Structure 1
Amino acid sequence: MAGTYHKDESNTVNRYKHQATYDVDTIHAIVNSTPVLHVSFVPDTSVPVPVVLPMIGQIGHYPSDSESHCYLHGYVSSRLMNLAASPPGIPLCVAATKVDGFVLTLTPNTHNYNYRSAILHGHGTVVSSDEEKLWAMQLVTNSVVPERYENSRVPPDNAEMQSTQILKMRIESASGKVREGVPEDERKDMKRDDVLDSVWTGVIPVYEKLGEPVGGPYNRVKEVPEHVRRFVDGENARRWTYAVEASRKPAPVKRVKKQNQVE
């Protein structure tokens, strides 16, 4: 899905603008590669205290829709699902973050992370169609381990369908921030040989490593399934490669503001 999200008051990045992105594909990729999303909402507008929930979710495009939505998996009687049951739904903010490296510089003040982050704003409503609900359950399940839905006992039975609820969030605005690259220090420290000669600088690549699959206590299948093995090996290679390559890229370059330029 090509394109960019429109910038408005809700999603415009003000700090480190040169690391900001509004690219749809980039933002969706960050969200879809984050195992746990943090979903914020206000349960009672008369008591404006936000609540943040860790949830499993995935952005996907249901065939009959004209745009992609963020689907969040939850329990039918949860407070969030109850609040989203009535039109027009509930305002939501969804956050996703990936840490790709610890950037160690000459002074504590300039230490940094290599990272990818995304923020979505929109309204969430409960999925009422069984067809779309099943589609979303498959989408979310396969976001954990590809092909897992097809390689498990499906379809869900009536009790499972009744107890599971899917929240569908229309993405009204979104933004992302990405930092890749080597350390960067201020000119005053780069001129000091005593500092340069005594402080190690560099990047420690960070990536989540998937371990060797461990069979459960009632597992009767001797060999680890090919779809699981393929996922573990491929995902570990992808994560390691991204983190290491990010640690070697040039530091982000701040864009010089042109005269009379309006942000």
Structure 2
Amino acid sequence: MTLSPTPRSTIRRGSKRAATDRADLHAVLDAALVCHLAVVVDDAPLVLPTGYGRDGDTLYLHGSTGARSLREAARGVPVCVAVTLLDGVVYARSVFDHSMNYRAAVVHGTAVPVTDPDAKAHALRVLTEHIAPGSWDYARQPTPKELAATSVLALDLAEASVKIRSGPPGDEEDDVAANARWAGVLPLRTSWGAAESDPALVGDWDVPPHVVNRT
């Protein structure tokens, strides 16, 4: 399916980099681990990193019930969620044409609190499996007290935009023809390191397969 831009989700600056396939939106959200949730609190913008997980076209956000950003978003005010993946720095022949290769998604909408116990458990499973795959069935399940202390919001992905830049610099023709400076891309790649066991573990523990397989 394709994205259906609205006035506030229409990409105008650098529109040639807009991705229109909904699969591109899903791919960006699935590849990142942290989003930035923006909401207006006391007439001032507040932007905070937030854990999330995607199930179909629903984005689940979670945090402490004491988090002001989530409390405000739960009131039904407009919110904006942004996710950015940096893939490299683009070194051009001119400073003006320097850039970055990236994949970015922006979602607009109104978040809905998830309060039904079964729905909340499902949302938390989605969140956990996105951030730490395999952990929901391995680790201890949340207690009623822990569930009560956790706020979960659902945000529909109906209103979203995706922007992607890849490839070499876009230098001016005169700069390319002059051939006076190096230009290219310095790729950025993120990788997992070796798992580090908690010093408080007692006895001989092997790192669980769901952790080993991720690295």
TM-score interval (norm. to shorter): over 0.9
User: How many angstroms apart in 1 are the aligned matches of 2:186 and 2:155?
Assistant: 36
Give the counterpart letter for 1:34 in structure 2: A
The 5 Å alignment of 1:152-171 reads 152-154=139-141, 156-171=142-157
Partner of 2:26: 28
Whichever structure has more strand as a proportion of its residues is 2
Question: In the superposition, relative to structure 1, how do residues 81 and 106 fare at CA in structure 2: closer, same or farther (>3 Å)?
Answer: closer
Tell whether 2:109 aligns with 1:118. no
Under a length normalisation based on structure 1, what TM-score does the superposition of the two structures give? Answer: 0.77
Partner of 1:182: 168
Structure 1: gaps of 5 or more residues: 62-67, 233-263
Which secondary structure does the structure 2 equivalent of 1:191 belong to? helix
Contact 2:40/2:46 (CA < 8 Å) preserved in 1?
A: yes
1:218 is aligned to 2:205: no
SS in 2 for 1:203: strand
Deviations 1:55-107 (Å, cap 9, x if unpaired)? Answer: 0012213xxxxxx2110011113223333444xx2211000000011111211
Letter in 2 for 1:170: D
Structure 1 residues 154-175: Cα deviation after superposition (integer angstroms, max 9, x where no partner): 2x11111110110111234110
Compute the displacement of 1:222 (Å): 2.4
Which residue is 2:214 aligned to?
Answer: 231
CA RMSD of aligned residues (A): 1.5
Identity %: 31
Note the C-alpha offset of 1:210: 1.3
State how 1:188-207 maps to structure 2 within 5 Å.
188-193=174-179, 195=180, 199-207=181-189
Of the structure 1 ranges 133-142 and 145-154, higher mean CA displacement relative to structure 2 is found in 145-154
1:101 aligns with 2:88: yes
Secondary structure, counterpart of 1:143 in structure 2: helix
1:20-99 paired onto structure 2 within 5 Å: 20-44=18-42, 47=43, 49-61=44-56, 68-86=57-75, 89-99=76-86
Q: Distance in 2 between matches of 1:58 and 1:173?
A: 17
Deviating beyond 2 angstroms after TM superposition, the runs of 4 or more aligned structure 1 residues are 77-86, 219-222
The aligned amino acid for 1:54 is P
TM-score (norm. length: structure 2): 0.93
CA contact (8 A) 2:73 2:79 kept: no
CA contact (8 A) 1:34 1:96 kept: yes
Q: In 1, distance between residues paired with 2:116 and 2:201?
A: 34
* Cα separation, 1, equivalents of 2:92 and 2:190: 23
2:121 is the counterpart of 1:134: yes
Deviations 1:9-60 (CA, angstroms, capped at 9, x unpaired): 111111111110132111122122222100111124xx3x211111001221
CA contact (8 A) 1:104 1:111 kept: yes
- Aligned residue for 1:241? none
For 1:261, the equivalent position in structure 2 comes to none
